[in-house]
Structure 1
């Protein structure tokens, strides 16, 4: 094995499991670039955000430039270029949610967490963002915390939701 081949295998910033998943994704598509969005989403789940190192490695794996990766990534609001909190709260303010009180809900989260759009609490537990649609219009207003949905909410539900996730964060610290 040449030094270059050996170097490529040991240089990944991703876990072996994610690296293997990327290999499967790239092989699945006739055009490697088609794997870009899923790769960025999986990378963000593992690393927490799209760092320069993530962008560089994904670009190399697909055979495109880092600028191409950034151009695609900046289009999608669900992709982040800076770390989010352990629990990322996304408040939908699209028409259905807006008509049923989403802005009041969002303002309550801002007041309770003392952060604004795309802000992160000082302890790193929460981040907050206003998003266009999370696809649960029938149960508006709704939020998504990481991958969990909470629907038919009022501003009075906010302290309970924050408390629930804060206790999860404290529990994970104690168990770590």
Structure 2
């Protein structure tokens, strides 16, 4: 669904806002619903949520930026996520990050301008016994090596 412009009403979000009765304690639920409906949390969308929930924009943006699952730009076609938890760091995570950054021509946290791929990190994927871990397009790669990771990247469709 395309993102409305600033002058649009964000009508698809209204049922959730009405259900929340304008209560600020529904902020995370509303942000989650907004991202589901519009793909990401744009500045106009965050302003709309702040206005409708009668919250300061700084609180809405601060809450959204605190949680790593919220996006502020459209998702990339391919998403590469490296676990940076302790077990993954000890088992070779830094080498995986270097291989990804070199292979993709990105730095951690970046997204290619054409939207083809993004690179991010997460503190734990919850499978420490299989460290180091890399999540690509929702599929966990266990006990990854830099070469195995480069091979996985070559298999991504353009």
TM-score range with shorter-chain normalisation?
0.7 to 0.9
CA drift of 1:12 comes to: 3.1
Matched, 1:20 2:15: yes
Q: Residue 111 of structure 1 aligns to a residue in which SS?
A: helix
The match for 2:60 is 69
Does residue 1:80 correspond to 2:77, yes or no?
A: no
Q: Give the aligned partner of residue 131 of structure 1.
A: 122
- CA shift, 1:45, in A, is 4.2
Out of 21, 38, 41, the position equivalent to 1:50 is 41
TM-score by length of 2: 0.77
Q: Which structure dedicates a bigger proportion of its chain to helix? A: 1
* Aligned mates of 2:36, 2:141 — CA distance in 1: 20
Q: Any unmatched runs of 5+ in structure 1?
A: 1-9, 171-176
The answer to which structure, 1 or 2, has the higher relative contact order (CA under 8 A, 6+ apart) is 2
Distance 1:52 1:39 in 2: 15
Of 101, 118, 125, 1:110 maps to 101
What residue in structure 1 maps to residue 3 of structure 2? none
1:46-71 deviation per Cα after TM superposition (whole angstroms, max 9, x unaligned): 43432111101222332322222012
| Cα gap change, 1:21 to 1:147, in 2 (>3 Å) | farther
Does the CA-based 8 Å contact 1:143-1:150 persist in structure 2? yes
Deviation of 1:84 after TM superposition, in Å, equals 4.4
Asked whether the 8 Å contact 1:106–1:130 carries over to 2, the reply is no
**Equivalent pairs, count:** 152
CA RMSD of aligned residues (A): 2.7
Determine which structure has more spread, i.e. the larger CA radius of gyration.
1
Could you state the TM-score of these two structures normalised by the residue count of structure 1? Answer: 0.70
Q: Which runs of 4+ in 1 moved over 4 A?
A: 21-24
SS at the partner of 2:66?
Answer: coil
